[in-house]
Amino acid sequence: MRVRLVCLILALIVLASCADSDQLGAARRRLHNAPCGSSQAVAGVAGVNEDPRQVYLGDWVVISVCHLDALLHEAESQQQSITLFIEGLDSGVEPSGVDLETGTLTFILDRNEKNKGIWRQFLYNPLFDPYATMRVSVGIHGGRPLPRADGANMSLRLKKLYVDWGIALGLALLLGVAIALIVYARKSDMLRDGPPVDGVRRPYSLARVQMAFWFFLLVAGYVVIWLVTSEQDSIAPSLLGLVGISAATALAAVAVTKPSEGSLGTNGFWRDLVTDDRGVVALDRFQVVVWTLVLGGVFLYSVLGDLTMPEFSATMLALMGISSGTYIGFKLPMKSE
């Protein structure tokens, strides 16, 4: 039984390798190389998809280089590697394959910690601007990219979001979380100050709404970044502090309010958030709401624009902590009245 399982695994590996080789072979066949001159230059580029100019992040790209052997010898003499250049910038990505017979280099369009800044301009706003055009070349690491041979194509059309059943499932789950939050917020007491008293529902809790707000933003941001870049470690440490502040605020709000205390009835979602138990708009509540919305906007701009979660400074975390502490502090006198 074990022998059969090992054989099956080996067969799958062989089939995957053959499929990869077929894709790369097809990409080389789709290359439309420009005539080479006497100097080193890029003669053509092609991806592995049906449209050789369309690529996704993580795809293979085959680049034809005039006088590749001379370039390799020059790189070796400088004790440097050959790397992929994107719009004239060194991405630091080294070739995953070298074919001297065809004069081609194979690269993987890899986004990592060192070249995130290069990819930012191409992956910007993937949900509403799905395509970006980029020009690629090769060169010796730390040097300049090779020029274009006369008539050569060096442009690729990057599709920012690769949609398959997995992506569709991820977006569906994200939508499901959003719908569940809205439904439970309206139908249950999940985001309210407590259970109903004598059949009268309590107002919405500012602390619990803030906690739900950051929970959903983090989930949505993580899923969007993962769908586009496949990055699985995108949550910045400061965001954990922000979530911790919102959770601590919610716990403290419960601790200083007895089940029998607090106002009854609701004046609407927004007024419940910014008014105190006397129905008066409270500055401590208003500033918590405003700063939460401001930081939430910065978060969304960073995720949708740069495909990265923002790293808030210690000063910003302290500001949120002071705002939340002030909100809890103003609840204490109300408790003793």
Confidence at residue 251, expressed as pLDDT on a 0 to 100 scale: 82
How far apart are alpha carbons 318 and 324 in whole angstroms? 10
Confidence at residue 261, expressed as pLDDT on a 0 to 100 scale: 55
- SS3 call for 204: strand
Is the full-model pTM beyond 0.75?
Answer: no
Confidence at residue 11, expressed as pLDDT on a 0 to 100 scale: 41
Confidence at residue 230, expressed as pLDDT on a 0 to 100 scale: 76
How far apart are alpha carbons 265 and 184 in whole angstroms? 18
Q: Where are the alpha helices (DSSP H) in the chain?
A: 2-30, 68-77, 116-123, 165-187, 206-229, 237-255, 269-274, 283-306, 314-336
Q: Which of 244, 246, 267, 255 is nearest to 331 (CA)?
A: 255
Confidence at residue 84, expressed as pLDDT on a 0 to 100 scale: 96
Instruction: For each of the domains in the chain, give its residue range(s) and CATH number, in order of start.
Output: 30-159 (2.60.40.10), 165-336 (no CATH)
Confidence at residue 259, expressed as pLDDT on a 0 to 100 scale: 54
Rounded average pLDDT per 10-residue block, the chain, 337 residues? 44 40 68 86 90 89 94 94 95 93 92 86 82 94 93 91 75 87 87 80 87 91 84 84 85 68 69 82 88 92 84 88 82 55
Confidence at residue 264, expressed as pLDDT on a 0 to 100 scale: 59
Confidence at residue 14, expressed as pLDDT on a 0 to 100 scale: 37
Confidence at residue 81, expressed as pLDDT on a 0 to 100 scale: 94
Q: Are 275 and 263 in contact (CB under 8 A)?
A: no
- SS3 call for 155: strand
How far apart are alpha carbons 257 and 278 in whole angstroms? 15
Confidence at residue 321, expressed as pLDDT on a 0 to 100 scale: 87
How far apart are alpha carbons 79 and 167 in whole angstroms? 42
How far apart are alpha carbons 247 and 337 in whole angstroms? 26
